[in-house]
Structure 1
C-alpha cells in the first residue's frame, strides 16, 4: 500500500507492507488526516524531539528510532475494513471512526501512531487501530470535521487545566491550530470574555469565527491593555484595594499557544498579578525566564500536553452537535503525492489554517 514516509529528513511517497490486524485490533482505511504543527517540526527535528521526550520520561523511548522510516499522521478519521482476532465486531465494516492515535499491542505495549516504526500513521492508505479505543462518527458529521477531533481535544485539555472562575477573563496568545482549539474549548464551556491575539490576519479571522470576543493584532495594540476594560486590575496594589473595599474581579488566565523562545518571559512580565499562564505552545528550544518577576507578581505557570480519553470523546460530541463549529477551518486537501508540498505551504500562516491529507485523492 502507499504511504508518505519520513526518510532521511524528507517526505517520500512510497510503497510499504500491507497490514494485518492482530488480537484486539482492526484494519481501517484512512479517509482524512490533518497535518499538525508537530509534524512540520518533526520532519527536520525528530531526533531532538525524541531526545527531549526521553529525558521527560526517565530515558524511556518506547523503542522508537527517529532515524528509521516513520509515517506521520495522528489527526484522522477512518473507515473500518476488517476485524482481527479477539474483537467483538460491535462496529461493523464500513463504519467511520476516530480514535486517539494509540494502538495497543497484544504484548501489552502501545504504538504512538505518527511516531512509530512498527505501524503507520494517517499519511497512509490504511492503518491498524485498537477496537477498544474506537469512537464511531455520528451520522451526518462530515469526515473532514470528524478528523478535527484530535487537535481540538488538545484545546479542551488546556481549558480543563485552567483554573477559570465564572468571571474569569482569558487571553489566548497565538491563534494557530493550538490557539484556535483553546478558543473553541473556552467557548464550548461557556467561558468569556475571550481575547485572542495573533499577527496573522487569517488566523485572527479564524479566531473570531470560533467565538473570540475580542481579536487583536499585537503589531497595532498590546492585548494586555484590555485587562482593565474587562474589570481586571493588573497590579497587586490595585487588586488588594478592591478586595479591601469588598469588591471582586475575575481571575485572569493567559494561554500561551506560540511555543517560541521569549514568549513566556514576555507574558510573565505583561500579565496581571496573580494570573495563571497555561503553556500549551510547545517550545522545543532552551528558553529563559526571570523567576523573580513571576514570584513578585505571584504568577502561576501550568504546562499542559495532550488530552484524556474523556476529553477526546467530549470533543467529538461537541463537534458533532455544533457546539464547536470547525466547518470553515479546512483550507486545503491533498492526496499522498501532495503532502510534501502541503508541508511547505503551511510555513506561511496566511496560506492555510488546516490542510487534510486524503489518501484516496489522486
Structure 2
C-alpha cells in the first residue's frame, strides 16, 4: 500500500507492506486523516519527546532516525478483522478509534511509534476495543476531527469553566479553535481569542470567539494590587457595619476570580507572558506542547495566585463524548478544515502548517 514515511525530518510517499490485523485488531481502509501539531513537532523534535516519554516509562515513542508512518487523527471503514475479534460491525462500516494498539504485552501510540504505523496510509490497524462506530450522517471530514476535539474536551474539563467566566484562548490553531467551539457549545458568553495570524483570528471568530486580537491583554483588566487592597478593606468595613451579618461567608462568596486562559501555542516564553499579564486569580490550562526547556517567574504566579494546570491527551470517555457532540450537531468543526490533500500533498502541507497563516486543519484523503 502507499503511505507517507517520516525519516530524519523528510516525508516520502512510498510503498509499504499492507498491515495484517493481529488478535483483537481491525484493519481500516483510511478515508480521512488529520495533520496534527504533534506531527509537526515530531517531524524534527521526536527525540526530545521520546526522551520525555521514556522518563515516564514509555520507551517506544518515535525517534527521528526511525521510519515512521505518522497519523493519529483518522476515520476509516472496516476492511478486515484479526483473530479473536467480536466482529461487532460489518465490513464497510465507518468508525473512529482511540489511537492506541497492543502488540503482545506492549501498548503503542498509533502514528507516533515505529511499532504502530499510523493513518498517513491507505490502511491502518486499530484495537477493536478502542473502536467506535461513526453515527449515520456524519461525513468523514467531520469524523476525522473526533481525536483533536477530544484533546480540547479534556482541556475544557480541566478548566472547570462556567458560563459567566471569561475564557481566553491564546493560539488559534486546530486545538485552540476546537476549544473555542466547545466553549461556545457550553454557553460561555465571553471568549477572547488571540493569535498573531490574521487568518486564524478570522477562523476564531467563525468558531464563536466574541473578541479577537493579536494579544488578549488589552481586553482584560490589569493586575492592580493597590486597587485590590483598597477594595478588600472597603468591603470589610462596609460588611462589618451590618449587625449580625455573617461577613466572612459573604466575603468568601463575593471574592472575584480571574479568567480562564488556555495556552495553545507551545513555544518558549508563552507561559511567562501569561504569568506576567494575566489578572489576579486566573486559571491557566496549558494545552500547547513546548518541546524546549522553558522558564517562568513562580513569584509572579504566586503574587497573583494563578493556577497552572497542564492538560495532555484525553480519556476514552472524553473521546466518546467528542464523537457524540459531533453526531448531535452540538459542535460543527468544518470551519477548521482548510484543505484536503492526497498522500502526495502531505510534505507540502507540513511546510504550509509550519508557518501559521490561514490554514488550520489539513486533512488527507489517501485515495485521491
TM-score, normalising length: structure 1: 0.91
Q: Which residue of 1 aligns with 2:232?
A: 240
The secondary structure found in structure 2 opposite 1:183 is helix
Find the partner of 1:121 among 95, 118, 121: 118
- C-alpha change, 1:162 and 1:241, in structure 2 (3 Å) is farther
201-210 vs 28-37, greater mean Cα deviation: 201-210
Task: Give me the whole-angstrom Cα distance separating, in 2, the residues matched to 1:324 and 1:234.
Answer: 38
Deviations, residues 108-163 of structure 1 (Å, cap 9, x unaligned): 32121111212310101101111111111111111011101111111111010013
The answer (yes or no) to whether the contact 2:169–2:192 under 8 Å persists in 1 is yes
Task: Give me the whole-angstrom Cα distance separating, in 1, the residues matched to 2:344 and 2:12.
Answer: 9
Q: Select the structure of larger CA radius of gyration.
A: 2
- C-alpha change, 1:227 and 1:237, in structure 2 (3 Å) is farther
Task: Give me the whole-angstrom Cα distance separating, in 2, the residues matched to 1:17 and 1:237.
Answer: 68
Q: Which residue of 1 aligns with 2:79?
A: 81
Shift of 1:213: 1.6
Task: Give me the whole-angstrom Cα distance separating, in 1, the residues matched to 2:33 and 2:65.
Answer: 23
Shift of 1:306: 0.5
- C-alpha change, 1:241 and 1:352, in structure 2 (3 Å) is farther
- 1:284 paired to 2:291: yes
Unaligned runs of 5+ in 1: none
- C-alpha change, 1:266 and 1:239, in structure 2 (3 Å) is farther
Q: Which residue of 1 aligns with 2:150?
A: 153
Q: Which residue of 2 aligns with 1:305?
A: 312
4+ residue stretches of structure 1 with deviation over 3 A? Answer: 62-66, 232-236, 238-251
Q: Which residue of 2 aligns with 1:186?
A: 183
Task: Give me the whole-angstrom Cα distance separating, in 2, the residues matched to 1:85 and 1:8.
Answer: 35
Q: Which residue of 2 aligns with 1:24?
A: 24
- C-alpha change, 1:116 and 1:239, in structure 2 (3 Å) is farther
The answer (yes or no) to whether the contact 1:153–1:181 under 8 Å persists in 2 is no
The secondary structure found in structure 2 opposite 1:346 is helix
Q: Which residue of 2 aligns with 1:163?
A: 160
Task: Give me the whole-angstrom Cα distance separating, in 1, the residues matched to 2:14 and 2:358.
Answer: 27
- 1:68 paired to 2:61: no
Shift of 1:227: 2.9
The secondary structure found in structure 2 opposite 1:76 is strand
Q: Which residue of 2 aligns with 1:99?
A: 97
RMSD: 2.0
The answer (yes or no) to whether the contact 1:164–1:251 under 8 Å persists in 2 is no
The secondary structure found in structure 1 opposite 2:335 is coil
Q: Which residue of 2 aligns with 1:42?
A: 42
The secondary structure found in structure 1 opposite 2:334 is coil
The answer (yes or no) to whether the contact 2:30–2:366 under 8 Å persists in 1 is yes
- 1:314 paired to 2:317: no
Deviations, residues 17-66 of structure 1 (Å, cap 9, x unaligned): 121111111111111101111111111121122112223x15x3137554
Shift of 1:330: 1.3
- C-alpha change, 1:255 and 1:97, in structure 2 (3 Å) is same
Task: Give me the whole-angstrom Cα distance separating, in 1, the residues matched to 2:175 and 2:31.
Answer: 23
User: What is the number of residues matched between the two proteins?
Assistant: 351
Deviations, residues 145-185 of structure 1 (Å, cap 9, x unaligned): 11011111111110100132442111111111121121122
Task: Give me the whole-angstrom Cα distance separating, in 1, the residues matched to 2:31 and 2:210.
Answer: 34
The answer (yes or no) to whether the contact 1:339–1:357 under 8 Å persists in 2 is yes
Find the partner of 1:227 among 202, 214, 220: 220
